[in-house]
Chain A
Amino acid sequence: MEFVIISVIGVLFGCGTYLILQRHLLQVVVGLSLYSHAANLALLVSGGLKRGNPPLLTTDAPYVDPLPQALILTAIVISFGMTAFATVLAFRVRQVYGSDAVDELAGGEE
């Protein structure tokens, strides 16, 4: 199971890198959000994927490490905010420049 998740992380990173290298800002933003999904999955794998009991002190059977899930929750919120900001920024660039191609953003040098 871990192998499958790790492969998915690899594919997400590949697609994200491809999109970040594109000309249009919206594609870059989608690429960044794929990156953050890949990072979240990596956090999930870091605790080990296994079945077990809830992490309560009263149970003595093997339990699941709760920390990665707490970390992912935080990371999801952060990447959500960042993606929202990046989307608005791309939209504003489109409004100001009339284009969202990164090689057409000139002006403001002096």
Chain B
Amino acid sequence: MTARTVLRNEWRLLMADRALRIVLGLFAALLVYALANGVVWLRFQERTVEAVESGNGERTSALQQELDAIANGGQPSSPFADPRSPLVLGGPSGSHTAALEPGSLTALAVGQSDLLPYYYDVNIYTNESSFQQNGEVENPLNLMVGRFDLAFVVVYLLPLLVLALSFNVLSEEREQGTLALTLSQPVSARSVVAAKLAFRAFLVVGMVLAMSLLGVLATGGFDSPGRVLLWCAAVVTYSLFWFVLAAWVNTLRRSSAWNATVLVGAWLVLVVVLPAAINIAAGLLHPLPSRVEMITAQRDASNDAVNRRSELLARYLEDHPEMAEGVVADEPGLGALAWAATDAVNRRLEEVTSEHDARRADQIVLVRRYRFLSPALLAQDVLIDAAGTGDARFAHFQSQVRAFAEQWREFFVPAILADEQMTASVLPNVPKFRLADEEPGDATRRAAVPLTVLGGLVLLVGMGAGVGLGRVRGAD
């Protein structure tokens, strides 16, 4: 009996089972729906990014027009919004929106991209508290539930399909009495089960990968082949884990019903209970510091700063001689005084934030260790990171926005301090945000450990199954 015979036989058997045909059809339909959902979300993000970027252009050209008009003897539209003032040109009305292009595989995994901000308005008043705002106006209920995307289908539903296809891969033969018959042929139980599972794996993984690649193709995600490969690797490894688990349970020589119960139990524990329990445990053992503290620190700082503006300005000029060109410290303009106060508040906020962020980073390192308790958590982590919708890419974006805000200040603050007026000629030189996206290797590097652990798990359980199958005799 060759592997081909097994495969052909399997195909016939699977297709003869009406329930299984329905389940496979349903799974395919869910895959299509999940992908469609992801594409809708991707398009929405793309449209938003496009809109905020064209908003940048519109603001600039409106300022350009107004500045030109003023240069030709016109009046500013409002005495409080004179674009010649660097506080206005570099302030909210002249702000530049820094946006993060959606990750190349966003259509496959929405991940954290519905929760974390992907654009910030940057102006001279951008500070740490700006990163706290910028919440989307999304329905909180939808955020809580999460999206129905391919990553969800892969992490939650795919294991159930795998288990439905293979919980009785060996036990059924035993129950129907065909095991002795099969093993009387010159073939080992190991190769029979391997062939059967390989066929099923080919079917299931093939469906998911085909749908993923279709999604990538439709949304132009092939720009980063590394991410696509990473995604595929995670899908394959995670599916294999469930296949070898089913094979191993089958070698325990129990009934099909027992296998089904145990495997569904394993799914429940690894995919539903453990991650939820870990979240509780992590919250208890490593509570994240409250953000409330930050908000009040800002108020304290701004109270204090307004009263000591002149003193702060003097100190500022001492600390930033490069910004101080042409500033007469004896009779500073109102703008310079206000800026000194703003800067003092920003510094205080940065202190509190960096303290807070350091504590938070420590906690997150600890919390992330718990990932290794559940293959579902590992898989989810790699999948969304590969898609470019994980926490890491957003943190990278935020740090770039922070640097850009600094660049923005460096451009406008000297003029504020010197109480200078600006003209249309500076507009082309105003800093523009250019995202230096993560290197393709970054995600791969982060995924290396979880993916290796997942692969190791597959090998371990697979070897256990192999050993168990080696002991199977037809007379069992």
Whether A associates with B in a native complex is no
* B residues lining the A interface (CB < 8 Å): none
* A residues lining the B interface (CB < 8 Å): none
